[in-house]
């Protein structure tokens, strides 16, 4: 499997801040969040100026105020997990961010991952079965459920919950679609004056089966995940304020994040990165 490495700059700007408050990344499944988790876990190990904390999704956790305990700690946190949008409501002055994916692509990606995880084939576990299980387990309209704070609640989504979700979208400081993934990460790195990164994606799987959705499959998504399309549309049409630079003015301290190369828990210079990857001199 070919491994692609990409460079994401942290720009130098007068509006950059010292990392003096916690960050909450709401990790919606199959939207590139695992790579984001690893990026900030690695930066945390290298810089040691914030604590990376990934909360495992479970119903008991969502019903507690355990997260409130973190607010008394003076060290900032990077908090992540498959969690509700209000998970960090008990922490004052927190930076909220998330990435969403087009609903059809997200659901199909999730299905293929589940087939892979079960170590079976689509003929043994049909797409229709997958959707039936998602609906039964209240994991339909998963994007909407994240924003409406309905994870692990045995509740059918209605227009009322959709309106709550749409309203909660506006509470996020940095929110975008997966097409702007690199710019999203660059925004966080720039805003908090963190290092630039070179990364390769996590959870890249080479499936040993083929699956192409048919018209029936697509209609199942449009019917059972209909509210997610409205949430996605709002986010897709939001105006993004991405940091940009037309010159060489970015942080030359670079964090290497990849499951394929040992990072040694250090920051690299541009030359060291160029020597490792033999990048074109103009590429980084």
CATH (domain of 66): 3.40.50.300
- Token pair listed for 67: 């997260």
Q: Is 1 contained in some domain?
A: no
pLDDT for 245 equals 65
Number of domains in the chain: 1
Distances (CA, A) of 101 to 30, 109, 236: 8, 10, 9
Segment-wise mean pLDDT, segments of 10 residues, the chain, 284 residues = 84 75 94 96 95 77 51 78 90 91 97 94 95 96 97 92 97 94 94 94 82 96 98 90 73 92 89 79 56
Q: Is 205 contained in some domain?
A: yes
Q: pTM for the complete prediction? A: 0.91
Q: Is 284 contained in some domain?
A: no
- Residue 66 lies in domain: 6-277
Q: Is 55 contained in some domain?
A: yes
Q: How many CB atoms lie within 10 A of CB 171?
A: 12
11/249 Cα distance (integer angstroms) = 6
pLDDT for 242 equals 76
224/236 Cα distance (integer angstroms) = 21
pLDDT for 247 equals 63
């Amino acid at each position: 499997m070919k491994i692609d490495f990409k460079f994401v700059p942290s720009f130098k700007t007068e509006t950059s801040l010292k990392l003096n408050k916690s960050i909450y990344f709401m990790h919606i499944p199959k939207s590139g969040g695992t790579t984001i988790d690893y990026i900030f876990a690695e930066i945390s190990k290298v810089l040691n100026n914030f604590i990376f904390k990934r909360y495992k999704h479970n119903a008991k956790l969502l019903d507690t105020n355990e997260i409130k305990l973190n607010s008394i700690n003076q060290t900032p946190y990077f908090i992540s997990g498959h969690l509700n949008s209000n998970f960090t409501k008990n922490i004052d002055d927190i930076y909220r961010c998330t990435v969403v994916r087009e609903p059809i692509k997200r659901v199909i990606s999730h299905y293929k991952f589940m087939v892979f995880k079960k170590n079976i084939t689509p003929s043994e576990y049909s797409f229709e079965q997958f959707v039936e299980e998602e609906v039964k387990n209240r994991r339909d309209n998963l994007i909407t459920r994240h924003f409406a704070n309905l994870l692990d609640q045995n509740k059918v989504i209605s227009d009322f919950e959709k309106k709550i979700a749409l309203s909660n979208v506006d509470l996020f400081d940095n929110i975008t679609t997966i097409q702007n993934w690199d710019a999203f990460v660059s925004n966080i790195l720039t805003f908090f004056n963190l290092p630039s990164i070179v990364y390769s994606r996590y959870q890249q799987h080479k499936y040993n089966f083929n699956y192409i959705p048919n018209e029936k499959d697509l209609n199942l998504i449009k019917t059972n995940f209909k509210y997610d399309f409205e949430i996605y549309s709002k986010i897709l049409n939001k105006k993004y304020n991405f940091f940009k630079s037309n010159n060489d003015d970015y942080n030359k301290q670079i964090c290497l994040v990849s499951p394929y190369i040992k990072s040694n828990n250090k920051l690299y210079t541009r030359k060291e990165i160029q020597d490792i990857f033999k990048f074109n001199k103009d590429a980084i």
